[in-house]
Amino acid sequence: MAEPCPRCGTTVPGERCPQCGLVIALYHASLEKMRRGPSAAVGIVAPVSRAPEPPPPSGPAGFRPPAPAGATPIPAMIRRLQFHGSPGSLFGIQAINVLLTLLTLGVYYFWGKARIRSYLLGQSELERDRFAYHGTGRELFVGFLKGLVVFGVPFLVLSVLPAVYGAPDPVTKSLSRLLWLLGLLLVPVAMVGSRRYRLSRTSWRGIRFSFRGSMREFVGLFVVGSVLTSLTLGIYYPVFVTKQQAFMISHSYFGSRKFDFDGRGRSLIGAFLGMIVLFLPTVGLSWFWFSARRHRFFTEHTRFGTTRFRSTVGGARLAWLQISNIVAIVLTLGLAWPWTVVRSQHFYFRYVTLEGPLDVSDVQQDARPASATGEGLAGLLDADFGVS
């Protein structure tokens, strides 16, 4: 009587799936109901679309055959990422990380960071295969030290020396302005460096991701975008962030195959202006609304071969997630951090889908080397530029 669970693919010994708690008979019954007419199906749509039919290991074939003619089409080619992590495990990792970081006077921090990333990626699954993280604490530590030597020390020297040697006021002032500009240049350097490093250390089915965008090009884009944004009093901002996203996505690769991004930032300008107008009346809540809109826009314009991404994240839900996360962290003095991370991961995986055939059979391994110096710089700038 053992059959694979239609939702998560685990072998089900009895009637109920031990993995996701799905009752098989009920599931088939509701599926049947749904075929008969859309009116009865409202509550069922979500679980169905959340259940990608696991195809056999190779090829695009193996999807549920289309529903009989005349019936409501079932979105069979929809896939979702799954997250298996638990707050408990993450809490255990973090507790040991904090202890060892204290005992080693901070050095273990980098190893701890690598363990957290490894856990989060290892618990993320697509098409029955989990992602893997290959970065090490040693790399992060060396990257941090290099970032410190290459960028941090000159910065510190230039900002402290004039004060120590009592340079005249105009000199100190123009120097600090220059440093501020240099600091602005370091942001794009860190963004590209960090993405290059992280993608190069991420794999799925043994194939590494990579980032091949040119640093110089991105710095140029960033400087021009920053200038235009300030000249237009912020109106250019949506175009600017879209250009950044386009650069980041369209130079990202899975093995030998590229991701594509085809969004134009002007589509976001309306939403952005609306957000600004409503910012004060909504006590800032309109920001979440814009943030969700931007997330949907970025996701929906991302393609990987024949696969399109889609997101249904809503502003209210996003606001609830982020505000309640902050409240939980504050109330528990940070102890709830693992819970908020796992929760956020579940949140995004619930609303982001992959649509269309996912055929990776012609993808070849094509890994690129990447150093962790940019990552170290990102750490120095105290910025965490997430990889999405």
Partner 1 sequence: MAVSGARVWDAAYLDGRTPRRRPARIMIGGEGLEISLTEDGGSLRWPLREIRQTQGFYPGEQVRLERGTMGEALLIADVAFLTALRAAVPEAARGFHDPARRRWQASVAVGAVLAALVVSLALYFWGIPALAGVAADHVPVSWEVALGESAVARLAPPSRRCLDPPRQRRIDEIVTVLLRTLPERRYPFQVAIVDHPMVNAFATPGGFIVIFRGLLDRTENAEELAGVLAHEIQHVLHRHATRAILRHASTGVLLAALLGDVSGVVAFGAETARALGDLRHSREAEHEADRDGMLMLHAARIDPQGMLAFFQAMQRTEGTSGTAVRYLSTHPPAGDRLQALATLAAQGSHPTIKLLPTYDWTDIRQLCASHHR
Instruction: Point out which residues bind partner 1 (CB under 8 A).
Output: 57-58, 84, 86, 88-89, 91-92, 94-99, 101-103, 106, 109, 118-119, 122-123, 129-130, 132, 134, 163-166, 203-208, 255, 326, 329-330, 333-334, 337, 360-361, 363-365, 367, 384
* Residue closer to partner 1 (CB basis): 43 or 168: 168
How far apart (Å, rounded) are the C-alpha atoms in residues 31 and 37? 10
- Both tokens of 140, joined, read 């992060």
- Shortest distance, CB of residue 238 to partner 1, whole angstroms? 25
DSSP 249-266: HHTEEETTEEEEE---TH
* Residue closer to partner 1 (CB basis): 86 or 214: 86
- Shortest distance, CB of residue 359 to partner 1, whole angstroms? 10
Ranges of H-type helices in the chain: 24-36, 45-49, 87-103, 109-122, 137-147, 153-164, 169-200, 215-231, 237-250, 266-279, 286-300, 315-331, 337-351, 373-380
Q: Are 207 and 196 in contact (CB under 8 A)?
A: no
- Shortest distance, CB of residue 202 to partner 1, whole angstroms? 11
* Residue closer to partner 1 (CB basis): 242 or 252: 252
Cβ burial, residue 269 (10 Å; 0-12/13-18/19+): middle
Q: Are 339 and 328 in contact (CB under 8 A)?
A: yes
- Shortest distance, CB of residue 336 to partner 1, whole angstroms? 10
How far apart (Å, rounded) are the C-alpha atoms in residues 160 and 183? 15
What does residue 82 show for φ and ψ, rounded to 5 degrees?
-120, 145
Sign of the Cα pseudo-torsion (118, 120, 122, 124, in order) = negative
- Shortest distance, CB of residue 265 to partner 1, whole angstroms? 28
* Residue closer to partner 1 (CB basis): 89 or 291: 89
* Residue closer to partner 1 (CB basis): 172 or 250: 172
- Shortest distance, CB of residue 152 to partner 1, whole angstroms? 15
> Could you give the angle at the alpha carbon of 281 between the alpha carbons of 300 and 278, nearest 5°?
30
Beta bridge partners of 42: none
* Residue closer to partner 1 (CB basis): 91 or 279: 91
* Residue closer to partner 1 (CB basis): 68 or 106: 106
**3-state SS assignment for residue 135:** coil
- Shortest distance, CB of residue 363 to partner 1, whole angstroms? 5
* Residue closer to partner 1 (CB basis): 15 or 129: 129
- Shortest distance, CB of residue 103 to partner 1, whole angstroms? 6
